[in-house]
Amino acid sequence: MSDTTNHETAGDAPGAEGPVTRSGFIAIVGKPNVGKSTLLNTLLGVKVAPITPKPQTTRRGVRGIYTSEDRQLVFVDTPGFHKGGGSALDQAMHREVRDAIVDVDAVLWVVDLRRPPNDEDKSVARLLGSSLGPATPLIIVGNKVDAAKYPEEALQLYKDLAPQARRALAISALNDPKAVYALREDLLDAIQEGPFYFPTDIRSDQSREQWAAELIREAAMIHLREELPYSVAVQVVAWEDAEEGRPSVIAAEIWVEKVGHRRIVIGKGGAMIKEIGKMARKQLEIFLQEKLYLELEVVVRASWREDREALRELGYEP
């Protein structure tokens, strides 16, 4: 297990005389669309990360925290490692993956058992081979076993790409939470003495505004087609808590790169934005357990994917 002492401690970490705790950072990596964020959400039992059927959904390395008695696991979900067009956003996403595997106690490499490895899997394997210290355990998580025809054969092909892996297992992050909980138990058993990095009641390192923005982006990505899902960003600009006789109000901007895109996102007579808003509001209401008023505005922010200031505003860059 690698040393994690250079991670900053947030919240009430026990002092030298406090009870002995154990903790560990676990990175979740893999090519786009294999189910990394689904795995994170199942590991935590809450939805902290957006999931869509489209690749490159995750843009930011979200941390999800699982605390059980004297142990704390900090999972780091990462963007799918992809070729990309080399935009500033692509570069930021690659950096997220590279940074995520430094100084962690274990790495989960998520692969899709429905298919044999392709070039993108091979480049993830190369990255893991060159960047992962020999002391950091690598676990291959073969996902989507529920939909795989030849899971054992596929898993073997992934194992061949990473002979240094300590373990390889077949699971379904979407349909078999029990297998995911068993993996979580194994990780809880394996971590070593260390402080709690987050307060015990915290489930993710995102602000509520960032979390809501991701759920709104998820709804937009699900509804939009072709290049559009990738040229959309969401920022929550205001959040007013409920008052007597009025539900909470969340106001968010949906950024697009072109005027033509703005027209598509709004849709004929506002039909598209209404659908996106309805889906996002329902999701938010389920998780917040309250009625909401969601106000969406579509804003043209030219070339935001190339604009480092914009990427910082969105939290995609430090």
Ligand X SMILES: Nc1nc2c(ncn2[C@@H]2O[C@H](COP(=O)(O)OP(=O)(O)OP(=O)(O)O)[C@@H](O)[C@H]2O)c(=O)[nH]1
**Which residues would be at the binding site for ligand X (CB under 6 A)?**
30, 32-38, 51-53, 55-58, 79-80, 143-144, 146-147, 172-175
3-state secondary structure 182-250: HHHHHHHHHCEECCCCCCCCCCECCCHHHHHHHHHHHHHHHHCCCCHHHHCEEEEEEEECCECCECEEE
CB of 157 to ligand X, least distance (A): 18
The closest alpha carbon to 142, from 216, 165, 83, belongs to 165
Cβ-based nearer residue to ligand X, 175 or 207 = 175
CB of 244 to ligand X, least distance (A): 39
Cβ-based nearer residue to ligand X, 178 or 268 = 178
CB of 277 to ligand X, least distance (A): 21
CB within 8 A of 309, min separation 6: which ones? none
For Mg ion, which residue of 2, 23, 37, 143 counts as binding (CB under 5 A)? 37
Which of Mg ion, ligand X, none does 223 bind, CB closer than 5 to 8 A by kind?
Answer: none
For Mg ion, which residue of 41, 58, 143, 231 counts as binding (CB under 5 A)? 58
Cβ-based nearer residue to Mg ion, 49 or 298 = 49
Which of Mg ion, ligand X, none does 146 bind, CB closer than 5 to 8 A by kind?
Answer: ligand X
Number of H-type helices and E-type strands within the chain: 9, 10
- DSSP structure string for 239-299: EE--BTTB-EEEEEEEEESSHHHHHHHH-GGGHHHHHHHHHHHHHHHHHHTS-EEEEEEEE
Is the Cβ–Cβ distance between 221 and 54 less than 8 Å?
yes
Amino acid present at 56: Q
CB of 143 to ligand X, least distance (A): 5
Cβ-based nearer residue to ligand X, 147 or 300 = 147
Q: Which residue is nearest to ligand X (CB)?
A: 80
Per CB under 5 A, residues contacting Mg ion are 36-37, 57-58
